[in-house]
Amino acid sequence: MSEEIKIAHGPIQKTITKLEMTTQQLNSDMTSGYVGENTLDMTKKLEELNHLLEDVLASYQVMLLEHGKSTMDAVDQFIESEQSIASSIQFIK
């Protein structure tokens, strides 16, 4: 029974790199400074929501980058384990 799991490091690395570049390009630059002399509660609330959105986006970017790094670390560790097991099997034979 020969069931082999194959991990192609190149495509995974390429996808993670693309994800990292895209994540860094996310922009939360909401138009701010519209409050001016207008003191309506709605304008203040929109400004507050924009700041919250910027915080959420920044957290999301950090999470995506950390997830990408964790994914690559797991793939690298899996490949190293597979190579170690293969070497052990060859040594036993």
The domain segmentation of the chain, as residue ranges, is: 11-20+39-92
> If you count DSSP H runs as helices and E runs as strands, how many of each does the chain have, helices first?
2, 0
Condensed to tens digits (0 to 9), the pLDDT of residues 17-70 reads 998 888 888 876 655 555 556 667 888 888 899 999 999 999 999 999 999 999
In this prediction, residue 83 has a pLDDT band, given cuts at 50, 70 and 90, of: confident
Read off the pTM.
0.58
Burial class (CB in 10 A: 0-12, 13-18, 19+), 46: middle
pLDDT reading at 1 higher than 50: no
